[in-house]
Each structure stands twice: as C-alpha cells, then as structure tokens.
Amino acid sequence: MFYHRKDLQYNAKPDKPDPVYAKKLQEVLGGQFGEITVAMQYLFQGWNCRGNEKYRDMLLDIGTEEIAHVEMLATMIAQLVDQAPVETQEQAAKDPLVGAVMGGMNPQHVIVSGLGAQPNDSSGYPWNARYTIASGNLLADFRANLNAESQGRLQVSRLYESTTDHGVRDMLSFLIARDTMHQNQWMAAIEELEQHQSAVVPSTFPKEQEKQEVAYSFMNFSEGTESQNGRWASGESMDHMGTFSYDANPAPMGQIPSLQPAPPYVHNTPPLHAHETTGSPTHAP
C-alpha cells in the first residue's frame, strides 16, 4: 500500500523561472537513467523478489524514495516554466547557441502539459519501460542498479554544472548525495551476495556444462597487444575458480556456414551453380 504526504522529501524551489533549463532537467526525470526508471526498476525487483525478505524490503525502501525524487523534479520543472510562454522563449532565442541547440523552451511544456513536467526525456522522447531491468536474479539486478545510479549521478552532476540557480543547485546537491548513498548501497549488497555465491551470474549453472577451455581466456580480437597488460589477462580469475590467460592469436573453432537452399514457396534467390560463379560458359558452343 502506498500513501502520499504533502511534504517533499527535500526542497525543490528555483530562484527564478528558466524554461530552457526545465527542458534539460527532463532528462533526469524521464530519461533512460532518470528517476522514473530507477523507481520502477527497484519496485518491480522488490515485488518480484522471492524468498529474500531483507532484499525485498531494501528494494521497496529505495524504490519508494525514488518516487519522491520524481515528485521533486516534477515540482521543480513546473516552477521553472512559470511565466514561460512568449517572453522567455524569445529571450532564449537571442543566444545563437541556445537557439540552435535548445531551440528555447520545450513547447510541449505549454501546449501539452500546461506548464508542467512530463514523463519524457530532454528531447521529448516518452519514458519507456524497456529501460528497466528486473530479472529475478538479485546479483544481476543489483549490478544493473549500480550502473543506473552511476549514470544518473553523472547526469545530475553535469546538470549541476550547467546552472547558477542556487535553488536548483541545492536540490541537485541533495539528489547527488542520495546517489552517493545508493551507489554505496548497491556495492555493499553486491559484495554480500558475492560472498555467498560465485561472482559470475548465474552461479547455479553447472560448471561441467560450460566450455572450460575458453572460460578464462582473454582473446585478442583487435590490432595491438596492450590489453594483455590488464588484470583480466593473467592471474587468478575474479570468481576464484580459474586462471586468466591471454590468447594473442585466437583461431576459429567453428565450421564454415553452409545453409540449405530455401524451399520454393519462400521465393529467395535461387542458388547459383558452380560454373556460373566462376564465369564458365553455361553450355557448349
């Protein structure tokens, strides 16, 4: 069960309207690594969690907090587009760079949402549930969560640097700090899971059914050999179940593909005969 409190988790009040910046801020609301994504990702991971109550509770804690961040950003965007329609758009267009790159404010903030935020990214692309990951394997999911928080914190940091509005920066400073905690949280959860199972996902797949001769071989598939100096090319493997090796010239191990001709009803191109491919005459003179 969910319920709503009127208080925001943290202040979301800009010093003054800035519809161009509101368009930018849409990225961390409805973009691939935005707050809507992590809210839905963590909640579905929690709702789908089976037999691990502390992880389920943790996921629902953080997923619910991310809904609060959605509310903060939506509230901030709505205030940034206050008094926005004509005057501020014309003012933004005076700057050639802003006019070319941003095109002024997002017109949908007026036309579609009536001076409100939207579940879209900064280009107006709608939020997509395909951004979310909830596989049922907690280690795989927590690594995806760590990536999402890393990308999200990076984007919020860039947005922080692109404004001088003290109110906006104050809110973003809070979100950056929470992303610090969330990255640490996922790293702690990953470390805990790795102590109880293999670092490789899934840990339940039988080793004897895996091609062990290539399981820990780093293959050099590009020009240059600098990659052999990495931790991944020698020494004990990270799952402590093998030894890394470096294959400087990996040889093909498969067959040359040769597919059977398609049946007539598919209407593919008929196969050429050998003498046709070599340019030999098709019949005797």
Distance (Å, whole) CA 240 – CA 203:
13
Q: Is 240 annotated for ligand binding?
A: no
Q: Is 57 annotated for ligand binding?
A: yes
Question: Closest Cα partner for 245 from 230, 258, 257?
Answer: 230
Q: How many Cα neighbours within 13 Å face the side chain of 73?
A: 31
Q: Is 87 annotated for ligand binding?
A: no
Distance (Å, whole) CA 247 – CA 228:
9
Q: Is 69 annotated for ligand binding?
A: yes
Question: Where do we find the tokens 């790293």?
Answer: 187
186, 146 in Cβ contact below 8 A?
yes
Distance (Å, whole) CA 38 – CA 188:
18
Q: Is 149 annotated for ligand binding?
A: yes
Q: Is 182 annotated for ligand binding?
A: yes
Q: Is 166 annotated for ligand binding?
A: no
Q: Is 66 annotated for ligand binding?
A: yes
Q: Is 224 annotated for ligand binding?
A: yes
Question: Closest Cα partner for 123 from 29, 224, 57?
Answer: 29
84, 105 in Cβ contact below 8 A?
yes
Give Cβ neighbours of residue 168 (< 8 Å, ≥ 6 apart): 14, 15, 18, 21, 25, 76, 80
Q: Is 15 annotated for ligand binding?
A: no
DSSP E strands in the chain: the ranges are: 217-219, 235-236, 243-247
Give Cβ neighbours of residue 204 (< 8 Å, ≥ 6 apart): none
Q: Which residues are annotated as a binding site for Mn(2+)?
A: 35, 66, 69, 149, 182
Please state the residue numbers annotated as binding site for Ca(2+).
Answer: 57, 61, 220, 222, 224
- As annotated, the binding site includes 35, 57, 61, 66, 69, 149, 182, 220, 222, 224
